[in-house]
Amino acid sequence: MMSSDPEQARCYKEVSVIGNGAYGTVYKAIDLKNEGQFVAMKNIRIQNSEEGIPMSAIREISSLRQLEKYEHPNIVRLLDVQFGNTSSEEVGLTLVFEYIDQDLATFLERSSSLGSEKIRDLMQQLLTGVDFLHSNRIVHRDLKPQNILITRGGRLKLADFGLARVYGFQMILTSVVVTLWYRAPEVILQARYATPVDSWSVGCIFGELFIRRPMFCGQSDIDQLMKIFEVVGLPAKSEWPDTVSLPWTSFKALSPQPLDRIITDLDPQAKDLLEKFLVFNPHQRICAYDALNHPYFKDDLDSLRTSSSLSVSESDSSITDSRSDTPVSK
């Protein structure tokens, strides 16, 4: 549902602040029309235009709402969208999601250890959700443990998906530090990018499940790239994007390091899959669909093929099935 009715906005009562991010404030709230059910409300402020809220933002959210009828088990549910002018200079967006009280970062902090089967289960769910987004032409663009939710029953759900273009409009935001640790090299280099950016982030998260800390903790764009190249090696000059301002010669030659020396608990299949995620060239990086069919998941391939096949049909939506790596942004 999308609404600009002020009365509708009062259907939710804020209880507490969950967090402040680059794109707004998230609240825990009570749904007053649904027997006091808890929801998560994200308030976003966008600079106003003469026509009010940008139509491209409305179209993007409408596309996401169309996915809701499938109620994919690995995608957090977007329950409601409200918008209206908060002032002559601002448009307010309120996105209402199902409430889940822990993200993957919190889950890892609360867990004393993760066995190999639990890591495999989390990766299966993560990739199933990512493949569903990609099959419907949605690139998450900001996959990290804080944007991955875990229910009490162990269900993994992706949050904050597909909203990058909504957030892309000039917004009124407080000063924040946006982590670089899960960003693909092409994003850091400000080259054109597409669905493979999510595969890189998945690889970073995969490694973190084993070592219980981020793999690449850079303090700046250059430092982040250096930490990446210390592990995967400096790519060949021929693979360096020719549209970026940072030259290949800015970095010293480095050879790739064996991942099983960095992550001691990696079995051969997990190592092979992780190596396929952490590839500099996005055209050579494994996609979510192929990763689900990797031998690492050999015991679950039949069920994975079924669960990852959900997509919006061409007759239902303009965002038809496509796992293409056609660039979507710059």
Q: What is the pLDDT of residues 12-69, one digit of tens each?
A: 999 999 887 656 788 999 999 888 799 999 887 776 666 656 666 676 677 778 788 8
Dihedral (CA of 233, 130, 18, 178) sign: positive
59 and 183 inside one domain: no
- Asked if residue 283 and residue 241 are part of one domain, the reply reads yes
118 and 50 both lie in a single domain: no
CATH of the domain at 77: 3.30.200.20
Residue 165 lies in a domain: no
Is 29 domain-assigned? yes
Q: Are residues 105 and 230 in the same domain?
A: yes
What residues form DSSP beta bridges with 52? 49
Q: Are residues 113 and 200 in the same domain?
A: yes
Domain ranges, residue 68: 8-99
CATH of the domain at 191: 1.10.510.10
In a domain, 256, yes or no: yes
The answer to whether residues 78 and 116 belong to one domain is: no
In a domain, 318, yes or no: no
Characterize the bridge pairing of strands 12-21 and 156-158: unpaired
Element (H, E) at 148: strand 148-150
Domain count, the chain: 2
**Helices 196-211 and 116-135: crossing angle, nearest 10°?**
170
Strands 12-21 and 2-3: unpaired
- Looking at per-residue pLDDT, the higher value among 139 and 205 belongs to 205
Are residues 211 and 226 located together in one domain of the fold?
yes
Please give the helix or strand (H or E) that residue 90 lies within, else none: strand 90-98
Q: How far apart are CA 64 and CA 46, in angstroms?
A: 19
pLDDT value for 102: 93
What is the average pLDDT across 223-247?
95
pTM of the prediction?
A: 0.83
Calculate the CA 313 to chain-centre distance: 23
Write the DSSP symbol of residue 258. P
Residue 163 within any structural domain of the chain: no
Decide if 240 is inside a domain: yes
Catalytic positions are 142
**Helix, strand counts (H, E) of the chain:** 12, 8
Q: What is the DSSP pairing of strand 2-3 with strand 78-85? A: parallel
92 and 230 part of one domain: no
pLDDT at 160: 82
Do 94 and 113 have their domain in common?
no
pLDDT at 93: 80
Cα(306)–Cα(75) distance, rounded to whole angstroms? 16
Query: In this structure, is residue 169 part of a structural domain?
Result: no
Question: Would you state the pLDDT for residue 48?
Answer: 62
Q: Is residue 58 part of a domain?
A: yes
pLDDT band with cut points at 50, 70 and 90 for residue 171: very low
Within this chain, do residues 250 and 229 fall inside the same structural domain, yes or no? yes
Same domain, 121 and 45: no
Same domain? For 57 and 129 the reply is no
Determine the residue type at 53: I
Segment 58-110, tens digit of pLDDT = 766 777 787 888 889 999 998 998 876 666 666 678 889 999 999 999 999 99
pLDDT digits over 241-254, tens only? 988 999 999 999 99
User: What tokens were used for 64?
Assistant: 């996401």
**Average pLDDT score, the chain:** 82
**Residue 26 near residue 95, CB atoms below 8 Å:** no
